[in-house]
Amino acid sequence: MANFARDWDSNLAKFGALKKWRILPPLGATPVSDHQRRSVRLEFETGRSEAMFYVNGRTQEIETVMFLDLPPVLPGGPTETVSDGARAVVESLSRRDFAAVVARFDAAAKETLPSKKLAAEWDSQTAKLGKMETFTFGFGAPMEQGPAAEPQEYRVLLLSFEHGWLQVRMLFNANSQTVSKFGFLSPQAWWTAKPASNSEATVTALVKAMKDRDFAAATSKFGASLKPKMTQQKLATDLAEFGPLNAWHLEPSGSRDVAEPPAPPMWNDYWRAVLDFPKARVHAFCTVDARTQEITDMSFEVLLR
């Protein structure tokens, strides 16, 4: 955030005063996650920019802001960006509107992947993965680009299904907003199958142990990185000032998170335990590794005293 003022002044210097702006819809119907990304389209006097805000879903603090220059809108040219087009393609896929997807292809892509063939490939994926749930923009190795009559831009979208994940990769003709190449990429084997998780039971056992002041049991499921930071003694000390735990309940604090290849596999579930003490209401934020059921991170927020 230290460079926010500098970057904003840079936009004003390049494009002049801000004329209007609009908040773009989220990337698919995603639930609240630990970190959320929202984009704002900015229209200046002589140019356009997109501001991407990365928000901590727990504290609602803006942690990072990035500005991305957008190509100017040419007279008679497309008014949407490549990212808008990529989002529309995936939303059409989720509705099984294959005609709408192929309508965005250029002539060569339509010949390579007509709607019937696209439907067959999509059905082959969903037969293994189940119903599509959410999507977001991701990263990946660019598709091979040959000679092109106009600039091309590459987009990767990460699709989450009931039983796994899938990448959709697209190469866009930037001026005409048509797709010249399109393909599905299945991630590595460890990444395609979502592990079953009983993280709610893990956090429930933690809170019950804290209520009984059995801090050995409470810390027994802590991961190796958390144990040195949250020892039995520290946990006991942090909670002692509030008195005995009278009541509590759990709330999911975010969607399941996953690291994208080639990063090491990571499956995290997020929970918030609302703890009512005589002297305070406290939120305990817990991150649970869905594979091992270890609690890898925990923090407290005191709400009412």
- CATH number of the domain residue 23 falls in: 3.10.450
Overall average pLDDT of the 129-134 stretch: 84
Domains in the chain, number: 3
Q: Which residue has the higher pLDDT, 39 or 220?
A: 220
pLDDT value at residue 192? 44
pTM for this predicted structure: 0.44
Give yes or no for a contact between 288 and 202, defined as CB atoms under 8 angstroms apart.
Answer: yes
Q: Which of 29-33, 121-125, 296-300 has the lowest mean pLDDT?
A: 29-33
- How far apart CA 144 and CA 181 sit, in angstroms, is 9
The pair phi, psi for residue 205, each rounded to 5°, is -65, -35
Give the residue, 67 or 207, on which the prediction is more confident.
Answer: 207
Q: Which residues of 191-208 are buried (b: 16+ CB within 10 A; e: fewer)?
A: beebeebebeebbebbbe
Report the percent of the chain where pLDDT is more than 70. Answer: 76
Distance CA 5, CA 247 (A): 45
Mean pLDDT highest for which of 20-34, 207-221, 255-269?
A: 207-221
Distance (Å, whole) CA 95 – CA 84: 17
**Does residue 255 share a domain with residue 167?**
no
Q: Assess whether 190 and 206 both reside in one domain.
A: no
Q: Which residue range(s) make up the domain with 35? A: 1-70
Q: Which of 39, 70, 101 is the last residue of a domain?
A: 70
Let me know whether 92 and 107 are in one domain.
Answer: yes
User: Any idea what the CATH number is for the domain that residue 92 is in?
Assistant: 3.10.450.590
Region 254-271: what's the mean pLDDT? 58
Torsion of Cα atoms, 59 then 60 then 66 then 69, to 10°: 170
203, 187: one domain = no
Same domain, 82 and 190: yes
Please count the CA atoms within 13 angstroms of the CA of 261 that sit on its side-chain side: 14
Q: Is the pLDDT assigned to residue 38 strictly greater than 80?
A: no
Which pLDDT belongs to residue 212? 94
Q: Do residues 28 and 135 make contact, with C-beta atoms less than 8 angstroms apart?
A: yes
Question: Which range has the worst mean pLDDT, 2-11, 84-93, 240-249?
Answer: 2-11
Ramachandran bin of 33, using left for φ above 0, alpha for ψ from -120 to 50, beta for the remaining angles: beta
Question: Across 72-81, 138-147, 174-183, 252-261, which has the greatest mean pLDDT?
Answer: 174-183
Residue pair 273/245 in contact (Cβ under 8 Å)? The answer is no
Same domain, 61 and 99: no
132: helix, strand or coil: strand
More confident site: 25 or 280: 280
